[in-house]
Every structure is written in C-alpha cells, then in structure tokens.
Amino acid sequence: MPNYLKFLISIALPQIAGGLGAFFTFASVQTWFPTLIKPSWNPPSWLFGPVWTLLYVLMGVACYLIWKSDHPLKKPILKLYAVQLILNALWSPAFFGMQSPLFGLLVIIPLWVAIVLCILQFRKVSPLASGLMVPYLLWVTFATALNAAILVLN
C-alpha cells in the first residue's frame, strides 16, 4: 500500500472513532449532561470538539509513522493502537449513551493504560510518534479526573 494511502487511513480512523462517539454525545449534551453537578474546573462545552479534533489528527500522524515503518514490532504495536482506539470510541457510548459516569470511568481507565502502553511501545519505533501521543494522554488524564469528579458529585 502506498504511504499516502496509509497516511489518509491513519488520519481518518481516529476521526471516524470520534464521529461515532459524537453520535452518542450529541443528544445527552443537550438533555442529560446539563443536569449533572460538575466541578468548578469543568471546561466549556465548545472546547471539547476542537481539542478532540486536534488530538485525533495527532494520533493519526503517530499511527502513520508506525505503519510506514519497517520495524519488526509494527504489527503488535498497531494492534495495541487499535485497542486504545476502540476504547476511545466506547467511552462516549458508556458515559453519554448510557448516561453513566460509572461506566464511563470503567472504560476511560483502561483507555488511559492503553495510551501509556502505546506511548512506550511507539517510542521503540518512532520517538516522534510517541511524543505525538503525549497531548492525548494529558487530555485523557484530565478527562479521567473530570469523569471521576462527576461520578462523585452525582
């Protein structure tokens, strides 16, 4: 497969995962989510879309850097990346779709672990790919704390 096609697929996959999540988020953000007690440090709703879009692009570039490599660990590392992408896509249905901060937390904690593992494994193939995943880890760390705070407050 040519590298340009790998690049396009790598960028598209996280955006698709995010789009699936947005499907479950949209209705709850307008109905259920506003009724929840949130911590004072809860960011404004308009911030989530641009942040996630940027993070998905960074994830896609990181994936591409691994995919285009000839490293012998490429396949198992890409499988790990797929696992974290699936967990990422499952968080919105768990939190917003099921309207359950508890189920959201049960998904986001393994997601956080999978991202850490991706960062560590990506480093073996491409330090740049590993670094591109760090903002994602920081945001999911924040999102985990926010999810836990919402669970406790409600």
Give the model's pLDDT for residue 55. 98
Q: What tens digit of pLDDT does each residue of 108-153 get?
A: 999 999 999 999 999 999 999 999 999 999 999 999 999 999 999 9
Q: What tens digit of pLDDT does each residue of 56-95 get?
A: 999 999 999 999 999 999 999 999 999 999 999 999 999 9
Indicate whether 24 pLDDT > 90.
no
User: What CATH number does residue 49 fall under?
Assistant: 1.20.1260.100
State how many domains the chain has. 1
Residue type, 32: W
Grade residue 39 by pLDDT with cuts at 50, 70 and 90: very high
The parent domain of residue 128 ranges over: 3-153
